């Protein structure tokens, strides 16, 4: 079941896609990574979806990645005596800790940490930014505001504080419980919401303790400001354009997206572009032209993956959404314009032997008609570095570790294979690579492949050898050293 594209597709599971038949059809249609949204669904429902994915994985004999997306702390107003109020531009409005029901002049904001961080002139955004308040005066238990942009404010609407770093942990008590649950369940990636600083990521990685890879969602202005530091300690990145587009001017999001993607690629870490990619397909069997362009642009920018949220979780056309995303990716990647853009953005700063080996593998493959680059990897680093090169030929990652194979399903162009045979000797490693290339229909017996590995074997980070090898095993046994 070879994909005819390099960019990966992430699909969120939900009420519209939580049965065996739908999940299997989603995978067969093009999904590479399934997202479990911890904001919705009980632990039992999450467990059932996880079980179905692993069953399909076993039946098809192909690694499938599972991403658990943590909810993060939710900042919300209290309730109103009439359920909602209309705020008028220029009016005064107070937020405080008073437990009384709200009215047209005030409402409870049960988050003292916000008041502690606020300063006069700060902005409060309510209901995804539809209502904008300017803080005039504030204390430890209140904020007196002027309504800059009015609208209807109702019970428990979310609050964003875009221009203040809040003393709020990225992990709420619910997140900590969810984190331990999904790690014990056996997910491959954990997406961390509400990241403001690298310390948020480091704390999460301590709790994860190697049981999953940690992906940081960039959705706060403070995260954009210290992005390089967050990227350094993260295993992957999600450009979460929902809250990012609320807390920043919408026109600022596209250039930020490009910068985040390019930096993640330079660091050889996978990056997902998410939120509203095919939003209209929640209710329509066809997308808008603008949505198709949005997906295409993320692919042109070099993203490792594009993501569906409500489109596949709660929409009426989950399969059609995946089919559309797959078709856009195939069309974009077949064009010369795509290669020109991707190769123009290629990183040339190579500081290690492994960097140089994978760069050489790409050049050899592209200049000699080799059909694939086969990487032997324990931790996944060699495959990630090869993916950073964005070669014109497929990347085959061969590993004895199931966890590594699954995590690499998120990375651009990487096709994962489990190595079950004896690859402690280099000759058998080359044979294993040739068999994988033929089995996956990436090459036939008349073709050559490039094999990248580290000798001695079983030592992470030891990539130091490149071999152009035939796919005909008889030739390998006749010519290759032991």
Residue 216: CB atoms within 10 A of its CB come to 27
Peptide bond between residue 456 and the one before it cis (omega within 30 degrees of 0): yes
Q: How many degrees, rounded to 5, is the angle at CA 341 between CA 336 and CA 342? A: 100
- Give dist(CA 311, CA 314) in Å, integer: 6
Do the Cβ atoms of 64 and 403 come closer than 8 Å?
Answer: no
Q: Would you state the structure tokens that stand for residue 383, as one six-digit string?
A: 């495959």
Q: Distance between CA 8 and CA 98 in Å, rounded?
A: 48
- Three-state secondary-structure class, residue 360: helix
Q: How far apart are CA 312 and CA 426, in angstroms?
A: 44
Reported as half-sphere exposure (CB side, CA atoms, 13 A), residue 164 has a value of: 21
Per the listing, tokens 């795509």 go with: 338
Name the residue among 379, 420, 364, 129 with its Cα closest to residue 253: 129
- What token pair was written down for 376? 């032997």
Residues 6+ apart with CB under 8 A from 467: 426, 430, 450, 451, 453, 480
8 A C-beta contact, residue 277 and residue 257: no
- Which residues are the active-site residues? 35, 76, 217, 275
Rounded Cα distance between 244 and 41, Å, is 24
Q: What are the backbone angles phi and psi of residue 250, rounded to the nearest 5°?
A: -60, -30
Rg (the chain; Cα; Å): 24
Are the beta carbons of 151 and 175 closer than 8 angstroms? no
- H runs (alpha helix) in 209-352: 221-225, 227-233, 241-247, 253-266, 289-300, 310-313, 318-333, 336-344
Q: Which of 50, 38, 44 is nearest to 74 (CA)?
A: 38
């Amino acid at each position: 079941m070879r994909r005819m594209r390099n960019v990966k597709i992430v699909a969120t599971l939900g009420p519209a896609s939580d049965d065996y038949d739908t999940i299997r059809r989603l995978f067969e249609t093009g999904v590479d990574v399934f997202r479990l949204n911890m904001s919705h669904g009980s632990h039992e429902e999450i467990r059932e979806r996880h079980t179905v994915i692993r069953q399909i994985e076993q039946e098809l004999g192909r690694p499938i990645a599972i991403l658990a997306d943590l909810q993060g702390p939710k900042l919300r107003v209290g309730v109103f005596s009439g359920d909602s109020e209309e705020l008028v531009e220029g009016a005064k409005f107070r937020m405080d800790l008073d437990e009384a029901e709200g009215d047209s002049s005030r409402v409870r904001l049960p988050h003292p940490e916000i008041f502690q961080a606020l300063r006069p002139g700060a902005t409060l955004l309510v209901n995804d930014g539809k209502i904008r308040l300017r803080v005039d005066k504030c204390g430890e238990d209140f904020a007196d505001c002027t309504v800059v942009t009015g609208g209807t404010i109702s019970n428990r609407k979310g609050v964003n504080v875009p221009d203040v770093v809040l003393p709020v942990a990225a992990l709420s008590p619910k997140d900590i419980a969810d984190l331990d649950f999904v790690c014990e369940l056996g997910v491959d990636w954990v997406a961390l919401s509400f990241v403001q600083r690298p310390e948020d990521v480091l704390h999460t990685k301590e709790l994860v303790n190697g049981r999953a890879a940690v992906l940081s969602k960039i959705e706060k202005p403070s995260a954009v400001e210290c992005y390089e530091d967050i990227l350094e300690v993260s295993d992957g990145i999600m450009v979460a354009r929902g809250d990012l587009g609320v807390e920043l001017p919408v026109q600022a999001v596209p250039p930020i997206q490009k910068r985040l993607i390019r930096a993640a690629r330079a660091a050889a870490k996978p990056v997902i572009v998410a939120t509203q990619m095919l939003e209209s397909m929640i209710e329509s069997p066809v997308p808008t032209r603008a949505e198709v362009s949005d997906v295409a642009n993320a692919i042109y920018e070099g993203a490792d993956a594009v993501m569906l949220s409500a489109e596949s979780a709660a929409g009426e056309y989950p399969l059609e959404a995946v089919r559309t995303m797959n078709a856009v990716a195939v069309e974009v990647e077949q064009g010369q314009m795509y290669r020109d853009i991707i190769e123009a953005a290629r990183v040339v700063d190579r500081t290690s032997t492994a960097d140089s080996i994978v760069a050489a593998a790409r050049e050899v493959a592209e200049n000699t008609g080799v059909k694939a680059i086969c990487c032997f990897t324990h931790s996944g680093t060699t495959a990630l570095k090869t993916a950073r090169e964005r070669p014109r030929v497929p990347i085959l990652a061969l590993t004895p570790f199931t966890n590594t194979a699954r995590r690499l399903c998120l990375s651009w162009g990487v096709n994962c294979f489990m190595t079950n045979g004896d690859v402690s000797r280099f000759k058998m490693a080359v044979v294993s690579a040739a068999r994988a290339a033929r089995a996956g229909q990436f090459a036939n017996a008349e073709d050559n492949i490039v094999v990248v590995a580290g000798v001695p074997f079983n030592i992470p980070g030891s990539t130091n050898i490149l071999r152009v090898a035939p796919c005909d095993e008889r030739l390998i046994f006749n010519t290759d050293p032991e």
